[in-house]
A = this chain, B = another copy of it.
Amino acid sequence: MDYDKYAHEPFAVTVDLAVLTVTEGTLHALLVERGQEPYAGHWALPGGFVHPDESAETAARRELAEETGLSDVSGLHLEQLRTYSEPDRDPRMRVVSVAFAALLPDPPEPHGGSDAAEARWVPYDKAGPLAFDHDRILADAHELVGAKLEYTCLATAFCPPEFTLGELQQVYETVWGTTLDRPNFRRKVLATPGFVEAVPGAARLTGGRGKPAALYRAGPATALHPPLLRPSPEGRPA
């Protein structure tokens, strides 16, 4: 890198967050309503400028805390998605945005943060046309999370500290948009060492009817070997 050969144009660097959660069997994204031009009145992904003294990861975590009002953002899963740098993605100036996907277990009531007119959880399908290239960012986040569910233990990031296998399966089904066989899912998860570990105090749960389910915690494993492949819709995704 030769920094002195070209006059380096200044860029603005932002972070955009695709904050995802699973509630009521549906994938939700956290959106904010823009208060100013451009795209005033449109919905957009939360985000903001990277400060001079922080990394993109730090900025993303700060924005996440501001936007969700959560105090403990340190334990949340943050995944760097991709960087979007098309020259015309912001009509006002040259903005390079580092996008992150954040996974939340329980969706807290979003209080329209510092700079957002309003913040709301919106079902993924109904996340209408968003400002800037945020539609694509959100779609990319969905795809990334869906793929990572296959070969990592990421799914537990959508669950509270203690969860049932039914809840874990719900995460897979919701993100993938499919249904899975319950006994098979159970067998697979339990056969993967370190994925989940049973909570010894044979606890129970569920506010509904049916047999109480055993509780599990996220295990130390991060990778899934062999992976848990989502069913191919057709013959083969060629």
A residues apposed to B, CB below 8 Å: 1-6, 8-14, 16, 34-36, 44, 47-57, 80, 82-83, 85-87, 90, 92-96, 98, 114-116, 132, 150-151, 192-194, 219-221, 223, 225-227, 229, 232, 236-238
Rounded to whole angstroms, the CA-CA distance of A117 and B98 in the bound complex is 31
Rounded to whole angstroms, the CA-CA distance of A90 and B226 in the bound complex is 40
Of the A-B pairs whose beta carbons lie under 8 Å apart in the complex, a sample of 7, sorted by A's number, is: A1-B44, A2-B35, A2-B116, A10-B10, A11-B13, A83-B83, A221-B237
Task: From the candidates B44, B85, B236, name the one contacting A50 in the complex (CB within 8 A).
Answer: B85
Nearest CB in chain B: distance from A137 CB, A: 12
The count of identical subunits is 2
Nearest CB in chain B: distance from A79 CB, A: 11
Given A9-B52, A52-B87, A221-B238, 20 more A-B residue pairs with CB atoms under 8 Å apart are A1-B49, A1-B132, A2-B48, A3-B92, A4-B36, A5-B114, A5-B115, A8-B49, A11-B13, A11-B96, A52-B94, A54-B87, A57-B85, A83-B83, A83-B98, A85-B98, A96-B96, A193-B236, A194-B238, A220-B238
Nearest CB in chain B: distance from A145 CB, A: 15
Rounded to whole angstroms, the CA-CA distance of A51 and B57 in the bound complex is 24
Nearest CB in chain B: distance from A62 CB, A: 12
Q: Specify the chain B residue showing the minimal Cβ separation from A82.
A: B80
- Residues of B within 8 Å of A95, CB to CB, are 3
Given contacts A13-B96, A229-B225, contact A48 B6 (CB under 8 A): yes
**Once the chains bind, are A55 and B115 in contact (CB under 8 Å)?**
no
**Once the chains bind, are A223 and B194 in contact (CB under 8 Å)?**
no
Rounded to whole angstroms, the CA-CA distance of A219 and B53 in the bound complex is 47
CB-CB nearest 3 A-B residue pairs: A10-B10, A2-B115, A56-B85
